[in-house]
Structure 1
Amino acid sequence: MIAQVIVDVSTAAIDRPFDYSVPPQLEPFVKPGIRVHVPFGPRKVQGFVIGIADSSTVDLHKLKSVASVVDVDPVLTTEMLELANWLRDDTLSFYNDALQVMIPAALRANYSKICKFVRVDLLSEAMKQLLSRDGEVDFTNIEKNQLTHELKQQLDDGNASIETRIRQKTKPKLQTVYQVLSTSIELTKGAKKQQAVLTWIQQHDIKSFTMEDIQQHLQVTSSVVEALVEKEILQKTKQEIYREIALLADISKDKVVELTDSQLQVLEQVKEAQHQDVSTTFLLHGITGSGKTEIYLHAIEEALALGKEAIMLVPEIALTPQMVTRFKMRFGDQVAVMHSGLSAGEKYDEWRKIHRREVRVVVGARSAIFAPFENLGLVILDEEHESSYKQEDSPRYHAREVAKWRAQYAKCPVILGSATPSIESYARAKKGVYTLLELPNRANAKELPPVELIDMREQLKGGNRSMFSIELIEAIRDRLNKNEQIVLFLNKRGFSSFVLCRDCGSTVQCPNCDISLTYHRMGEALRCHYCGYEEMVPAQCPHCESEHIRYFGTGTQKVEEELTKLFPEARTLRMDVDTTRTKGAHERILHHFGKREADILLGTQMIAKGLDFPEVTLVGVLNADTSLHLADFRAAEKTFQLITQVSGRAGRHQKKGHVIVQTYDPQHYALVCAQTHDYKAFYSQEMQMRKAYQYPPFYYLTHIQISHPDVIQTADYAAKTADWLRERLTTSTAVIGPTASAISRIQDRYRYQCMLKYKQDPNLIPSLHQLLKMARTDWEKQGVRISIDLHPSTIV
């Protein structure tokens, strides 16, 4: 029996299966989808078995054997193995990367080098202090303590050996359980507390319990229970339990919602596809508050009634708590949650619930699309236009494309839902590639809130230099007087965009990236949002030593400070990357706001969509131009989507809403269309622009980036790349560039880019594969890195 194994090493030279013989004792366990430990060169690594064969092209005597199995049951299904093949080709990634992305990080291998010694007495005192009880020491500890020279000497003398150990990053959570063996044993008169435990067991006919169980009824310590274990009245065991995930609210009651006629018509089409077992992609275009979530819930109910499973994707962690609460209310313990806000242990437990068939619905962010269901009946992407569905690291997949692949495999429908669909998706729906479903009205028959565009140029002319327009200040004061809630949106975090010297005009730059550092009031720090570099705010200019240092731009921290000055009585919650770093921070902030413990919710993109609070009647957009003038062909689309989405947070229930958008460009078509909530008008104008400049959906784009620590080398290899492609691609494909990236240096690596623009090119994929092979085998030795994104979500 031969196992074909993809080893856990992502390099071009070994991006293929390797054959290993399977020892007879492991044959019952080794099957496709299982993980194994195998010898690879001088060490052991983890690998995925992707196939079983009876023979090998390698001489059987030379074949190495599988050392051990990691799993009893396969972690990857047959579907996942096929999906990995497709993903590898679609994203031009390594086979190992395509397989690894399908399992939670908690299941991935953790490699460590362990040093063992034959005679401890030959070691120095410093080395002896590092030894564990087993007489071993981790190689990283030896490195930290600068004892590598001694280790080398011990290895040369034969007194030391190094062993590679592979561990899973997370283990199941265990709790101590006491099983009742006998209740007939007589206790001495002095053992009153032990007798109390025994009486409690007899009265309630207890078979097993935990310390937590008994302490709810009796005031006893663990020593009392342990004494009963010694007397063989109880038996102590360890049982596996799942880690509990805290939710936003009480989930004991479900809301009964009657669907509108429009919702019923939409649902009927989805149900028809579910019953016909066909892979249909639906684009559900429904305005904010039109009841898309209720459609999702009913469609999932139908999938479960058919004995199938469902995956529900949301783009932001911030959306997940509210969405999970809705789903738990409807489906109870049938729901698993998967998103990056969970701890490694929680992710591991949620994944195992799915793997063990204990749940039938998954709600989560991008990675939840790889939930190992084997009888999939429905896939839903809420806010399908969101860029967070695209992974920017290898493999560079888009959850929408993976969802469509899985739906085709399972013969089930996909629902792509949004109030502002991506231009590409809506164009496909117009062409009939997707089936368009529309919900033009709010479910509660409420009107969309009026949107007021405030020209900040006029505010400046009138002498108002504040970040708040007069109209917004008055509107906030009015809502505070009425005891209503306010959402303020700013697409930026930090206190100020940058620190500038007024004498010499220089800014404080990141030493690793070509970008200015952002000032953060908390901790008086300057941070780079690309590489994480941080330094304290200088007292004087690093260039001219002037003390005239000033902060420019507007961040969420600065807005929060200004709000405190203007409205000292208002309670403000800030929600951005800085305030949501800790575990559960999203849930806590939203919970406090929902409980009316704050009047104003100030935040970045994470508050722009999906949130539903009855008392929010005012939404303020402080600077609509932040994303409007980026060097990205999708800038207008992203701005329209953000403004429309955040506008939809106001007046969702009984009270009327109002939206104020501050801008320096009130005539821009993206803002004019957002003011009237007119997606179709925006789509029409944006399509004209895309056609004129030959951008998607009229053309496909591929983005190629070259990086190197030396700028000359980077430019040279980027030029070689562009010339090489021009020779091999058809004349209808435009090779644009090379040019320096918008941020030309990140983490001390210079970056140049090329763009391919094409409609159809049979030479494209083979040429890109050739380019990657050449770059990975030859160029990487020179320190050059190349990345290719076949379907870029951004070109900045």
Structure 2
Amino acid sequence: MIAEVIIDIPTAQVNHTFDYQVDPEMEDLIKIGMRVEVPFGYRRLMAFVVNVKESTDFKGDVKMISRLIDYESFLSQELVDLSKVLADTLYAFRISVLQAMLPNILRVKYETVFKVIEPDTLADALNLSPNAFKEGTIKRETLEEFLSSKQIQGLIEHSTIEVAYQVLDQKTHKTVQYVLPNRGVSEYQEILDQLDKRSHKQGQVLAVMIDHQMTQAIELDQLAKMAQASKATIRTMVKKGWLTLEEREVYRPAYQLENTQPSQAKPLLKQQQEAFDQVKKQMGKDQAKTFLLEGVTGSGKTEVYLQLIEEALKVNKSAILLVPEIALTPQMVERVLSRFGSGVAVLHSGLSITEKYDEWRRIIRQEAKVVVGARSSIFAPLQKVGIIIIDEEHETSYKQGDNPRYHAREVAKWRSEYHGCPLVLGSATPSLESRARAEVGNYHLLKLTQRVNQQALPPVTIVDMTEHLLEQKNLELSQLLENKIAEKIAAREQVVLLLNRRGYASYLQCRSCGHVIQCPHCDISLTYHKADEKLKCHYCDYQVGLPLTCPQCGSKHLRTQGIGTQKVAESLRQLFPQTPIIRMDNDTTRRKGAHKKLLKEFADQSGAILLGTQMIAKGLDFEKVTLVGVINADTGLNMPDFRAAEKSFQLLTQVAGRTGRGRLKGEVVIQTYNPDHYVIQLAKQHDYESFFYYEMRRRHLSQYPPYFFTTLIKVSSKNRAQAQKMIYAIKDQLMNKVKTHLSMIGPSTGGIERINDYYQFHLLLKYKEVDRLQDQLQAILMSSQESQAKGIFVQIDHEPQYFI
């Protein structure tokens, strides 16, 4: 038998399959997607098995696979096939795609051990005493000294042992100590009757066991709590032989189910029911089809999602639900958990490496058939997928920023075709690309124009901050917004304030010479963070203490310019000293569970203010929120990006939708220095349709998506001249090879020329036909290996979401 493998070296020279012989002992064990160790040159390297065949066309000496790394496959045939497609279309090495599909724990240093489930059976197989397995595990190397791979596989299949991966210095499997009664209730009564009165704590434990007629194992912690005794007391009873103590592996739950109240499906309104029926009908056909569910904020899209997932489960199929932000995940996860309980697996970046691994194993073992999470959840190894749903499909966070630069929407479409299931893209403000596809019939458009609470969308007031600037009372809040906040707080209602800039001030400037303190590694000013008295770079994370004098002229007259969430929070505390102010941005949500904690804190307090960056603008549902304030609507409008208007409109519309979601009416105040800008005016009207057609005309005139494909080629190097020379060489190569149907913008420096000491040069390609350019881009990728050795890095990003 021959196995085709992809070697774990991300270079052009080995970016193809290699044939290796499979030892007859391993033939029954090898599976597609497994990782194996192979001899490669003078080294032994990890490789993925991507195909198995009977013979090879290779004329030379075919080497033998050294050993199995996995005894189970973490990648299905579907994902292995998908890796080939993504490698070709994303201009990435296939090994990079395969690695991206795996849980992180399989990409770090670890050791493989076997968890001993049946010590007696294993002891018989090895002619050892069962006491040899007191630790509950046996090292892989130890077991392989005694048994062949086939024998080990047999023990795994008979549940005698189980494969476990342990990160060095970090446990992979969580264990809980259980107490097992090894006497009958009557025997425990006899022991209690004869017990010395000085051992009253042991007596309390015995009494609990007798009263509860305990014959099954119970957690050590739980028994100690019930008996009001210490664990040491119970361990003493173990030593006396009255009880047995054992460790059992448990999954680390990504969320606590016991705190989630079960929920039932809600009656659907007419428009919800029509949308549900159309997707359900398609589910019965076992054919792929993409639906764009365009529903205003508060129109009940989530309930439609949940009922569609329920339909998939009814026919023994699985479901994937993607959400864009970790901040969105707590509320969405709680809704999914309340409906489907322990059958839900959660995957997002806020989980620890080992929690993700536990969730991944639950998916592989089909213990969880519903996956909810962020971008990478699209690679969940589910079988028989019945529905894929992407909530807030317009979000740029669905595009991976580094290699491989996949878009979750495109991966979802491929998996939808593979499984013959519907794909639902939901949003109040769909991306122009998706809505354009719906216009021409590639997607099926479904609309929800009414809110579930039957209320109108909240009225929006625009405040011209150029007029407010003359008053100079409060640079952050206009008098109107300040009065509105006071009014809502007095009524014990809640307020949401958006400012899409963290930190205290945008930059620190010397009033004597005008010098702005810059990052020494990036061509951008440092942001002032007052809480820890530091200047920080938001691109390379450089930090420095607050200087007392200007580094250029020595003046002490340093002044902060611009505002960030820290500064606004400080002003709010001065204006409303008795009001809870909850701030949500990257600085306050770094710790695990911080998002959920802050949102709960806000939900539990009437008359509270939630201040945050864009992470608070989407998906949050609080009935008491009656005012949304946008402190500066202009932060994203003037970015050097053709999508700046689209992103700004989406953000304003989404945050406006956070109010008026209950029985109380809501309102919105938007502060801006550009009140007549079409984005501001159309956001005021909640008019997505007009915005779509207006923006489409602009895109057509300037030849941008969705009318043209785009690819961004980025060259970076610490040597500016070398980077510039390389980008011009790439442009010349494309001009010579691709004669027609290609428009190029640049080369130019990036929006920020230098980031983390690397100079950035961009070349933007616009074209109509992908096939005309694919070979040339692959050639650029392959040739970039030589320049990489010289410290010049080339990146190819198909349909980029950012241009800085």
Q: TM-score, normalised by structure 2?
A: 0.89
State the match for 1:13 in structure 2.
Answer: 13
Q: Tell me which residue corresponds to 1:136.
A: none
SS in 1 for 2:456: coil
Residue matched to 1:700: 709
Residue in structure 2 matched with residue 284 of structure 1 by the alignment? 293
Q: 1:635 to 1:598 in 2, by over 3 A?
A: same
- 1:251 deviation in Å? 2.2
C-alpha distance in 1 between matches for 2:411 and 2:171 = 27
Inter-partner Cα distance in structure 2 for 1:550 and 1:647: 33
Question: In 2 relative to 1, CA 221–41 (structure 1 residues): closer, same or farther, beyond 3 Å?
Answer: farther
Correspondence list, 1:357-396, <5 A: 357-396=366-405
Structure 1 residue 172 displacement after superposition: 1.5
Say whether residues 1:685 and 2:684 are aligned partners: no
Percent identity among equivalent residues?
Answer: 45
- The count of aligned residue pairs is 742
Structure 2 distance, partners of 1:398, 1:489, is 27
1:729–1:761 Cα contact (<8 Å) kept:
no
**Structure 1, 205-214 or 613-622: larger mean CA deviation:** 205-214
Equivalent residues of 2:257, 2:342 under 8 A apart: no
Deviations 1:628-654 (A, max 9, x none): 011100011111100000000111111
**Would you say 1:791 and 2:789 are equivalent positions?**
no
Q: In the alignment, what sits opposite 2:89?
A: 90
Q: Match of 1:782, SS? A: coil
Helix, strand or coil at the partner of 1:739: strand
- Alignment correspondent of 1:65: 65
Give CA deviations for 1:289-325 in whole Å, capped at 9, x if unaligned.
1111111111111111121111001101111100111
Q: Following TM superposition, by how much is the alpha carbon of 1:189 offset from its aligned partner in structure 2, in angstroms?
A: 4.5
What is the rounded CA distance, in whole Å, between the counterparts of 2:262 and 2:772 in structure 1? 58
Decide whether aligned partners of structure 1 residues 475 and 597 sit closer, same or farther in structure 2, where only a CA change above 3 A counts.
closer
Structure-2 separation of matches of 1:728 and 1:607 = 47
After the TM superposition, which residues 302-701 of structure 1 pair with which residues of structure 2 at under 5 Å, given as runs?
A: 302-464=311-473, 466-596=475-605, 599-701=608-710
Say whether residues 1:176 and 2:177 are aligned partners.
yes
Cα distance in 1 for partners of 2:233, 2:286 equals 60
1:192/1:461 CA distance change after superposition, 3 Å: closer
Encode CA deviations 1:210-254: one digit per residue, 9 max, x unaligned.
211311222444444444444554444331101133469942242
Q: Is the 8 A contact 1:701 1:755 kept in 2?
A: yes
Name the CA distance, whole Å, in 1 between partners of 2:34 and 2:180. 34
Q: Structure 1 pair 661/193, CA: closer, same or farther in 2 (3 Å)?
A: closer
Q: Which amino acid aligns with 2:567?
A: K
Q: Is the CA contact (8 Å cut-off) linking 1:107 and 1:170 kept in structure 2?
A: no
Residue 726 in structure 1 maps to residue 725 in structure 2: no
Report how far residue 38 of structure 1 moved: 3.5
Instruction: Tell me, in whole angstroms, the C-alpha distance in 2 between the residues paired with 1:289 and 1:601.
Output: 19
- Conserved? CA contact 2:347–2:372, under 8 Å: yes
Asked if the contact 2:494/2:608 (under 8 Å) is kept, the reply is yes
1:79 aligns with 2:78: yes
Alignment counterpart, residue 269 of structure 2, candidates 246, 249, 260: 260
Q: Which amino acid aligns with 2:444?
A: T
1:241 to 250, 267, 287: 250
Distance 2:37 2:219 in 1: 36
Deviations 1:396-420 (A, max 9, x none): 0000001110000000000000000
Asked if 2 retains the 8 angstrom alpha-carbon contact of 1:30 and 1:69, the reply is no
Asked if 2 retains the 8 angstrom alpha-carbon contact of 1:739 and 1:753, the reply is yes
Structure 2: how far apart are the matches of 1:11 and 1:597? 57
Shift of 1:40: 4.1
In structure 1, C-alpha distance between the alignment counterparts of 2:38 and 2:237, rounded to whole Å: 46
Shift in CA distance, 654/62, structure 1 to aligned 2, threshold 3 Å: closer
Deviation of 1:384 after TM superposition, in Å, equals 0.4
Structure 2 distance, partners of 1:521, 1:199, is 58
Contact 1:285 1:437 in 2 (8 A): yes
Deviation at 1:377, TM superposition (A): 0.3
Deviations 1:481-508 (A, max 9, x none): 1111100000110000111111221211
Partner SS, residue 513 of structure 1: coil
Cα drift, residue 180 of structure 1: 3.5
Report the Cα distance in structure 2 between the residues aligned to 1:237 and 1:621, rounded to whole angstroms.
56
Matched, 1:108 2:107: yes
Q: Distance in 2 between matches of 1:67 and 1:60?
A: 21
Offset of residue 751 of structure 1: 0.7
Q: How does 1:163-242 map to 2 (within 5 A)?
A: 171-183=172-184, 189-190=195-196, 197=205, 200-201=208-209, 204-242=213-251
* Segment drifting more, 504-513 vs 457-466: 457-466
Query: Could you tell me which amino acid in structure 2 is paired with residue 26 of structure 1?
Result: M
State the shift of 1:208 in Å.
1.7
Distance change (3 Å), C-alpha of 1:87 and 1:524: same
Q: Distance in 1 between matches of 2:46 and 2:247?
A: 28
Contact 1:10 / 1:97 at 8 angstroms: preserved in 2? yes
More off after superposition, 176-185 vs 91-100: 176-185
Checking the alignment, whether the CA contact within 8 Å between 1:303 and 1:309 is kept in structure 2 is: yes
Read off the aligned partner of 1:764 and give its amino acid letter: L
| Shift in alpha-carbon separation, 1:250–1:167, aligned structure 2, 3 A | closer
Cα distance change of structure 1 residues 462 and 568 upon mapping to structure 2, 3 Å threshold:
same
Deviations 1:260-292 (A, max 9, x none): 111111111011101111111000011001111
Range with bigger deviation, 331-340 or 5-14: 5-14
Letter in 2 for 1:174: T
Structure 1 contact 726–735 (Cα < 8 Å) conserved: no
Aligned residue identity for 2:15: D
Q: What is the match of residue 35 of structure 1?
A: 35
Q: Is the 8 A contact 2:713 2:794 kept in 1?
A: yes
SS of residue in 1 equivalent to 2:227: coil
Residues 599-626 of structure 1: CA distance to partner in whole angstroms, max 9, x if unpaired? 1000000000111111110100011010
In structure 2, the CA distance between the partners of 1:42 and 1:549, relative to structure 1 (3 Å rule), is farther
Q: Superposed, which structure 2 residues align to 1:777-788 within 5 Å? A: 778-788=786-796
Q: Which amino acid aligns with 2:796?
A: I
What secondary structure is seen at the aligned counterpart in 1 of 2:101?
coil
Greater mean alpha carbon deviation, residues 253-262 or residues 737-746: 253-262
- The Cα shift of 1:197 comes to 4.3
Q: Residues 204 and 228 of structure 2 are in contact (CA less than 8 Å); yes or no, is this contact kept in structure 1?
A: no
Aligned-residue offset at 1:41: 4.6
- Segments of 5+ residues of structure 1 without an aligned counterpart are 113-164
- The letter of the residue matching 1:744 is E
Q: Aligned AA for 1:267?
A: F
The question of whether the paired residues in 2 share the 8 Å contact of 1:517 and 1:528 is answered with yes
How many angstroms apart in 1 are the aligned matches of 2:403 and 2:454? 45
Deviation, 1:783, is 1.2
| CA distance in 1 between partners of 2:60 and 2:178 (Å) | 49
State the distance in 1 between where 2:720 and 2:708 align.
Answer: 31
Q: Match for residue 150 of structure 1?
A: none
Tell me, yes or no, if the aligned pair for 1:725 and 1:735 is still in contact at 8 Å.
Answer: no
The 5 Å alignment of 1:759-770 reads 759-760=768-769, 762-770=771-779
1:610 aligned partner, one-letter code: G
Q: What is the deviation of 1:206?
A: 2.0
Superposition deviation, residue 679 in structure 1: 0.5
> What's the TM-score, normalizing by structure 1?
0.89
- The equivalent residue for 2:51 is 51
The answer (yes or no) to whether the contact 1:7–1:47 under 8 Å persists in 2 is yes
Give 3-state SS (helix, strand or coil) of 1:244's partner.
coil
Question: Unaligned stretches of 5+ in structure 2?
Answer: 112-165
Task: Work out the CA distance in 2 between the residues paired with 1:401 and 1:177.
Answer: 47
SS at match of 1:83: helix
